[in-house]
Every structure is written in structure tokens, then in C-alpha cells.
Amino acid sequence: MGCGCCSHASTEKDTLRVTIVGLENSGKTSLVQCLKTSKKSRQTSLCVSTHGVISINIQTNMNFLVFDCGGCKHQRHIWPHIMNSPDVILFAVDSMDLTCLNDAREALSDLLVDENLINKPLLVIFTKSDRENKLSIDQLEQTLDLSVIKDRSVHTVLFSSVTLEGLTTIREWLTYFSYRKLQGKDMNISTSERHRLLHSLNLSTA
Ligand SMILES: Nc1nc2c(ncn2[C@@H]2O[C@H](COP(=O)(O)OP(=O)(O)OP(=O)(O)O)[C@@H](O)[C@H]2O)c(=O)[nH]1
Ligand SMILES: [Mg+2]
């Protein structure tokens, strides 16, 4: 699988390594573009799938090196191998597409057992929140069985690349873990820190 674009992977303390995964069409690449440009996406029917992994440098107040992985079924088994030792994981779920939620739950639970990803903080991003008839965040969290994940920090947020709802929260979540990395602190935060983060960033948790 083509992955030649990430050979310059940085291990610097001031760069947070962020991997974004999720099923095909769940809105990962659109989110990465919003993180990079802060601009709303224009909705198009043209859908360009990502093949392999693309690395993108994003510099705001902090440096993020984002790995955007293709989500189609035949690429999922290679996610753990192409993730390039992430510090944190973003998992995108289409909040409109009810038919794919079971698949998303399985893909997530398969991913999290990988030994290289143990304890890595997880932000589950429910995308396309601008669409009508989406499921509520509670329904989405329950269907994905997020409450069974006990070995790491798990937060959830609604996001739309069309309205930019949730973008600031996602940035702040990434910034929080960037500071921890910079200060050499453990990324596996305590329960009280999880709650503090939850309230300060207006996140949700399973
Ligand atoms: N309405 C709406 N459509 C979105 C949103 N985000 C993405 N889309 C649309 O969903 C489709 C897929 O978006 P992508 O960002 O390419 O999805 P992806 O997860 O990168 O897909 P793969 O690369 O195939 O894994 C595109 O047609 C986007 O325009 C959103 O927030 N709202
Ligand atoms: Mg993509």
C-alpha cells in the first residue's frame, strides 16, 4: 500500500503525531482540510477516496503532524501499520449513516487492541452534524459501545466541515495533548483530568 509520503516522520517533542481513521466516506479528509485551513468545506457530490495514508503538517499555536488514512474495507487491516506511532487517535464516524455504525464499532474495537496503540488518547468525532436526521450523540456513543473502552482517555464531539461546528473543540483537545507531550507528561491521563478536560472543552464522554 502506498505510503511513501510519510518517510520524514518527526519524533520531535513539539510535534503532536495525530492519526485519523474511520470508515470510508466518514469525513476524515474534509476534517483535516478544515483543521489546516479553518475554512468551511463546500459540499460536492464528487467523493475522492484516500488511498494509503497522507501526512499533513498543520501549524497553528502548536505543530500537528496528521496522518489521514484511507477508510475503505481492504485498507483497514493495515491501519495499525501505517499509523506511524501516533500520540493520539481521531476516529471519524458518519453520524448520518446508520447502516455503517456496526462496521464502525468493529473497526474501532479491532484497532484499539493493537499493542502499539495501547493507552493512546482517543477522540471519536461524529461528522456531518449539519445534516438532518442524524442520530443524537448519546445514541451514537451507545451504538459504538464506547463505554467498554477503559484503557485510555475517550472523548466524543460532533463536527461538521460545512458549518465548522466542533472545530475549535477538536483543536483545543489536540492542543491539550500537545502541551502534555511538550512537557514530557504521560498521555494516559487520570480520570479526574479526563473530567476536567471534558468540562473545559465542552466535550462529551462515553
Ligand atoms: N454534509 C456534510 N458532508 C460532508 C462532511 N464531511 C464530509 N462530507 C462529505 O462526505 C464525503 C466524504 O468525505 P471525505 O472527507 O472524503 O471522507 P473520508 O473519510 O476521507 O473518505 P475515505 O478517504 O474514502 O476514507 C464527501 O462527499 C464530503 O463532501 C460534513 O461535515 N457534512
Ligand atoms: Mg479521505
Given a cut of 50, is residue 8 above it in pLDDT?
no
Q: How many CB atoms lie within 10 A of CB 206?
A: 18
| CA 183 / ligand 2 centre spacing (Å) | 32
Counting ligand 1 atoms within 8 A of each CB, the residue from 25, 96, 163 with the most, and so the one to mutate, is 25
Percent of the chain with pLDDT over 90: 60
Q: For ligand 1, what atom is nearest to the CA of residue 43?
A: 29
Going by pLDDT thresholds of 50, 70 and 90, the confidence category of residue 45 is low
Ligand nearest to C-alpha 159: 1
| CA 47 / ligand 1 centre spacing (Å) | 7
Given a cut of 80, is residue 82 above it in pLDDT?
no
Pocket lining: 131 vs ligand 1, CB cutoff 6 Å: yes
User: How is the beta sheet containing 15-22 ordered, strand by strand?
Assistant: 53-59, 63-69, 15-22, 88-94, 122-127, 154-158
Q: Are 54 and 75 in contact (CB under 8 A)?
A: no
Question: How far apart are the C-alpha atoms of 58 and 26, rounded to whole Å?
Answer: 21
Q: Which domains does the chain have, with CATH numbers?
A: 14-37+52-200 (3.40.50.300)
Q: Print the SS3 string covering 132-201.
A: CCCCCHHHHHHHHCHHHCCCCCEEEEECCCCCCCCHHHHHHHHHHHHHHHHCCCCCCCCHHHHHHHHHHC
pLDDT at 7: 40
Given a cut of 50, is residue 1 above it in pLDDT?
no
Nearest to 145 by CA among 116, 103, 174: 103
Q: Are 98 and 65 in contact (CB under 8 A)?
A: no
Q: Are 201 and 173 in contact (CB under 8 A)?
A: yes
Pocket lining: 27 vs ligand 1, CB cutoff 6 Å: yes
pLDDT at 142: 93
Q: What ipTM did this prediction achieve?
A: 0.99
Going by pLDDT thresholds of 50, 70 and 90, the confidence category of residue 6 is very low
Element spanning 78, H or E:
none
Average pLDDT, the chain: 87
Could you give phi then psi for residue 37, rounded to 5 degrees?
A: -105, -20
Given a cut of 50, is residue 185 above it in pLDDT?
yes
Going by pLDDT thresholds of 50, 70 and 90, the confidence category of residue 5 is very low
**Facing residues of 69 across strands?**
53
Pocket lining: 161 vs ligand 1, CB cutoff 6 Å: yes
pLDDT at 75: 84
